[in-house]
Amino acid sequence: MGLENILPTYHRSPTKLPISLNKLCRSKERVLLGFVCFGLVVGCFGTVFFLPELRTGIALPSINSVYKVYEHVQKVGPEFILQLPPLAKDDVHEGRAQQHHGQIDKPDFHLLEDQARLKAKIETQERLELEQNQMKVLPRPVIPSSKSEAGVSGSTTQPDGGIKGESGENVRYQQKNRLPKVQGGGDLEPDIRAKRETVRQMMKHAWDNYATYAWGKNELRPISHKGHSASIFGSGNYGASIVDGLDTLYIMGFMDEFKRGRDWVEDNLNLTGVSSELSVFETNIRFVGGLLSCYAITGDSMFREKALHIAEKLLPAFNTLTGIPHALINIGSGTSKNYAWASSGSSILSEFGTMSLEFNYLSDVTGNPVFRQKIEKITQVIKKQDRPDGLYPNYLNPKTGRWGQQHISMGALGDSFYEYLLKSWLQSGKTNDEAKEMYVDAMDAAVGKLIQKSNGGLTYFAEMKFNRLEHKMDHLACFTGGMLALGGTHLEEPLKSKHKELGVAITHTCHESYDRTNTKLGPEAFRFSDAIEAKALKSNEKYYILRPEVIESYFVLWRLTHDVRYRQWGWEAVQALEKHCRVDGGYTGIKNVYSDEPTQDDVQQSFFLAETLKYLYLLFSDDDLVSLDEWVFNTEAHPLPIKKVNLLYRGI
């Protein structure tokens, strides 16, 4: 018998149960068996190819990958995830991972508690995000509201004013809410960035010397190395340069200097018990305006409270028969008066007409309507007056409500009244139609009666005295180039084109007043006649005291036109300031701009910090840094937010 006859015709399974090969090979079973085998093959090989841990090696490293993921989760949520002992690699290889990770038979109390806390945290976070989106909640201010909170931030500033170490989350949050930019904003062009850095270092030189030689005083004598105080500040030391310079420091990114100034304001700026006579106008634009600007850009409530404190001290000056405030107020007694030289004791147009930006904003951020009511009263008194040829004289008697001497000027005594008409309309989000109407009417009259053109083609604002033109233009009036161009941008045709063209022409004339001097700095006033153009004649018109108005117009025209000549002209001013006004102890004015070696006046004006250097810095910055679409500058260059447009308005 052959071997094939000895072997059985069936195989033995591991269970010893015989299975007939003929039965296995039936057609239906063959198909089913084929699908099963195919599924097993796909499952095994799919695991190798599609699991990332197994693509690169054997199965055990996958446990290590899971362990790494678990470590990251522990870092993200340590307060919610159970702190289990770490897996030892030996345990992994010995198959004891299950024991370490607590395969328990009954619920663990701590695990349930952690899950509940995690769920509550998620729900709370979702609710807060929803409220933030709906209410547009602003981020916490950079500067704390009390010194006890100071120093908690680890960020430092870059030379260009940017903040180093600012978290990506905060940056994304600001982008999400489109918060206005008040720091950074460096131009991409290296040459422009270098020029801006030069201006920034000018600010540091001016500030450091003030801090060294005159800290707490109103202003600095940079040659004498001591404090200085003009009569407008009375007899006290109120740190005018500190208050005036704070927002410039912040915008430029000098945060250590800003912090020191802020602390001085908190500890020392207090008018309670003071018996001193202050200028209502200057105190408002420098102190109230400067403090409100710092409040807007930082959110630090201390600045708002200080602004309220000072503004309340000014209120007795409004206690006149008409509501037109006096020029001077004794802070201690509350008594007020006007200058004796001002047309028989009249109030001055540029002073009582330059309160609206600060007072309206103060009412909105404090909820106290009294400040807005004072402005509304002034407006109604002015509107009732008959105006000669539609023009506004520079003097108004607060007792009778009648105009004083018929002197009309876009420069000294009149200037910022017109500026505040335009900017009150813009600040209101263009809802204050009364201010707009008054501005348009005033400009129609002023352009029609005062705009002149010289024999050489220079456009300028003349002055009018008793219906006669005086062909003189103040340096102070050079702000009108920027004002007209800014107003034209927001008005309808034909005023849009007309006002913008006039703004360009006047700014060109003011540059000529600089360019025609030996120092390349402009005189306090310049005249036009058959013999001269844009030049000063009298000795008391030839000085330059670090004024900003020409540079202000350069800045505004640059933002509106991007004509490179405005940056070129601004750089010329920087070079002239460095050559003739910079001294070891800061910056000083000069007495004769037509002299090759001008005598210096030894005063560093506080507005040099607030206005001149700020406008130069912004001239060499990107347009979105303190954007003209979101801010208006008060007449001391303190930026105040535009209502309904600027998320930093912070109104109640």
DSSP secondary structure of 242-261 = HHHHHHHHHHHT-HHHHHHH
Burial class (CB in 10 A: 0-12, 13-18, 19+), 496: middle
Q: In this structure, what is the dihedral angle of CA atoms 373, 379, 380, 383, given to the nearest 10 degrees?
A: -170
DSSP string, 411-479: STTTHHHHHHHHHHHHHTTS--HHHHHHHHHHHHHHHHHHEEE-TTS-EEEPEEETTEEE-EEEGGGGG
The rounded distance, in Å, linking the Cα atoms of 187 and 190 is 7
pLDDT for position 363: 98
The rounded distance, in Å, linking the Cα atoms of 26 and 535 is 117
Q: What element of type H or E holds 286?
A: none
Within its chain, how far is the Cα of 460 from the centroid? 32
pLDDT for position 640: 98
The rounded distance, in Å, linking the Cα atoms of 146 and 271 is 20
Q: In this structure, what is the dihedral angle of CA atoms 490, 491, 494, 495, given to the nearest 10 degrees?
A: -100
The rounded distance, in Å, linking the Cα atoms of 206 and 210 is 6
Helix, coil or strand: residue 42: helix
Q: How many CB atoms lie within 10 A of CB 499?
A: 22
> Which residue is catalytic, options 351, 512, 524, 630?
524
Q: Please indicate whether residue 79 is annotated as part of the active site.
A: no
DSSP 8-class letter at 553: H
Contact 179, 138 (CB under 8 A): yes
Polymer length of the chain: 652
Closest CA to 582 of 517, 519, 536, 524: 519
- For 292-339, how does the pLDDT look when each residue is reduced to its tens digit (9 = 90+)? 999 999 999 999 999 999 999 999 999 999 999 999 999 999 999 999
Q: Which domains, from first to last, does the chain contain? A: 192-641 (1.50.10.10)
- 407 forms beta bridges with 465
Q: What element of type H or E holds 54?
A: helix 52-55
Closest CA to 148 of 263, 227, 290: 263
Question: Given the structure tokens 């309220």, which residue do they identify?
Answer: 308
The rounded distance, in Å, linking the Cα atoms of 411 and 417 is 10
pLDDT for position 145: 41
Helix, coil or strand: residue 524: coil
The rounded distance, in Å, linking the Cα atoms of 446 and 459 is 13
Question: Given the structure tokens 């036109």, which residue do they identify?
Answer: 561
Contact 233, 240 (CB under 8 A): yes
The rounded distance, in Å, linking the Cα atoms of 278 and 288 is 13
The Cα diameter of the chain in Å comes to 150
> What residue ranges in 275-339 does DSSP mark as E strands?
277-279, 328-330, 336-337
pLDDT for position 119: 59
Hey, CA dihedral for 70, 71, 73, 78, is it positive or negative? Answer: positive
The rounded distance, in Å, linking the Cα atoms of 192 and 319 is 50
Contact 644, 216 (CB under 8 A): no
Q: In what order do the strands lie in the sheet with 472-474?
A: 472-474, 525-528, 533-535
Q: Which two tokens stand for residue 98?
A: 């299950």
What are the residues whose beta carbons fall under 8 Å from the beta carbon of 92, sequence distance 6 or more? 60, 63, 64, 67
Q: What is the mean pLDDT of each run of 10 residues along the chain (652 residues)?
A: 39 39 51 65 54 43 46 47 41 38 41 56 54 43 43 40 47 61 95 98 98 98 97 93 98 98 98 94 98 98 98 98 98 96 97 98 98 98 95 97 96 98 98 98 98 98 96 98 98 97 98 98 97 96 98 98 98 98 98 98 98 98 98 98 97 89
Cis geometry, peptide bond prior to residue 494 (ω within 30 degrees of 0): yes
First-to-last CA distance in the chain? 112
Question: Given the structure tokens 């200058």, which residue do they identify?
Answer: 339
The rounded distance, in Å, linking the Cα atoms of 253 and 249 is 6
Angle at 423 (CA atoms; ends 338, 499), nearest 5 degrees: 110
- For 33-74, how does the pLDDT look when each residue is reduced to its tens digit (9 = 90+)? 666 666 665 565 555 444 444 444 444 444 444 445 445 545
pLDDT for position 652: 86
Contact 131, 124 (CB under 8 A): no
Q: Which two tokens stand for residue 175?
A: 């982008």
CA within 13 Å, CB half, 21:
5
Q: Which two tokens stand for residue 214?
A: 């005159």
